[in-house]
Amino acid sequence: MAGKYLDITGVGIEFDTGGAKFRALQNVNLVLEQGEFVSLIGHSGCGKSTVLNIVAGLLHATEGGVALEGREVTEPGPDRAVVFQNHSLMPWLTVYENVALAVDQVFRRRKSRAERRAWIEHNLALVNMEHAMHKLPAEISGGMKQRVGIARCLAMQPKVLLMDEPFGALDALTRAQLQDSLMQIQAELGNTVIMITHDVDEAVLLSDRIVMMSNGPAATIGEILSVGLARPRDRLELAEDPEFVHLRQQVLAFLYAKHAPSGQARSATPRRLTVPQGNTRPMRTQHTLPDPRATAPCG
């Protein structure tokens, strides 16, 4: 189904911050085709996560709406699985049980017990985690946890995979590894993906399109950049590819020349408050972008 697979139309949201209204998003429009990989990039607090949460159904837009395959999104569901930044595995369940919790819920009626078991193992194998199936999250590394988080989402066979800075909390080597895994899996399964990132290289490497957001308050989509690099992509070859370097520069130009971090360009804007959001949490510190408000909630 080419064309409007996922349709975000005129989305805006306002938060009530103890009397004062805070407008986080204004008139966000985006259409995704099936199988497309789209990155959202922008400065901290620009409402990227808010967009993702609205698509997930965890937050409700004040105006506008989201439609998936022509049906309006009203509540969260497994067809829009979310990979959260800090893995969010249940610490009391083993790796296998964490994935099983999702699989048993989604495929309770459609698959037999044995089929579900095979499906869980298949998905763990997809992210190379079958060796640690019976370990608790506390017993595996951060990168492994994030792999399991991704396996859990893939196992739900979502129509759209939503990733909220999935590799933000990982070290550079692990991040590169997981990026490669993700590219491979996406090539194999053809998932439709929206990924939030702070990492310009990551955005260019993985995406078909890069959606660059302007700074909040009342953030919206500034520019959309098509990435025409041929797949499969290889990070070593791309590093010297002129097209890659050019795309990278365009993203940087958007972020620093046109929409400099609000601390410098927007000193006159009203003081930002902590916005109550569905999954507000302090930012991890691994930015690729220098951020004057590193402790502000990730928007």
Partner 1 sequence: MNHGTTAPIDDRFQRMIAGFSSKSFVEGLLLPAIGVLLFLLAWQFAANRIDTSLGQFPGPVQVWQQAQNLVAEHRRERDKATAFYQRQEERNAKQLAADPQAGVKWRDYTGKPTFIDQVRTSLLTVAAGFVIANLLAIPLGIVCGLSAGVYRAMNPIIQVFKPVSPLAWLPLVTMVVSATYTAEDPLLQKSFLNSAITVALCCLWPTLINTTVGVTGIDRDLVNVSRVMALPWRTHIRRIVIPAAVPMIFTGLRLSLATGWMVLIAAEMLAQNPGLGKFVWDEFQNGSSDSLGRIMVAVLGIGCIGFALDQLMLTLQRRVSWDKQAILR
The residues of the shown chain that bind partner 1, judged by CB under 8 A, are: 56-58, 75-78, 80-82, 84, 86, 88, 90-93, 101-102, 105-106, 136, 138, 156, 278-281
Least distance from C-beta 78 to partner 1, angstroms? 6
Least distance from C-beta 116 to partner 1, angstroms? 14
Least distance from C-beta 229 to partner 1, angstroms? 31
Q: In terms of CB distance, is 77 or 222 closer to partner 1?
A: 77
**Across the strands, what pairs with 297?**
282
Least distance from C-beta 53 to partner 1, angstroms? 8
The pair of three-digit structure tokens given for residue 3, joined into one six-digit string: 């064309």
Q: In terms of CB distance, is 80 or 248 closer to partner 1?
A: 80
Q: In terms of CB distance, is 138 or 257 closer to partner 1?
A: 138
Say if residue 75 is exposed, middle or buried (CB neighbours under 10 Å; 0-12, 13-18, 19+). Answer: exposed
Q: In terms of CB distance, is 104 or 180 closer to partner 1?
A: 104
Whether residue 186 contacts residue 208, with contact meaning beta carbons closer than 8 Å, is answered with no
Q: Residue 205: which residues within 8 A CB-CB, separation 6 or more?
A: 179, 183, 233, 235, 238
Least distance from C-beta 292 to partner 1, angstroms? 26
**Angle formed at CA 131 by CA 127 and CA 135, multiple of 5 degrees:** 100
Q: In terms of CB distance, is 47 or 261 closer to partner 1?
A: 47
Q: In terms of CB distance, is 86 or 177 closer to partner 1?
A: 86
Q: In terms of CB distance, is 93 or 133 closer to partner 1?
A: 93
Least distance from C-beta 100 to partner 1, angstroms? 10
Least distance from C-beta 81 to partner 1, angstroms? 6
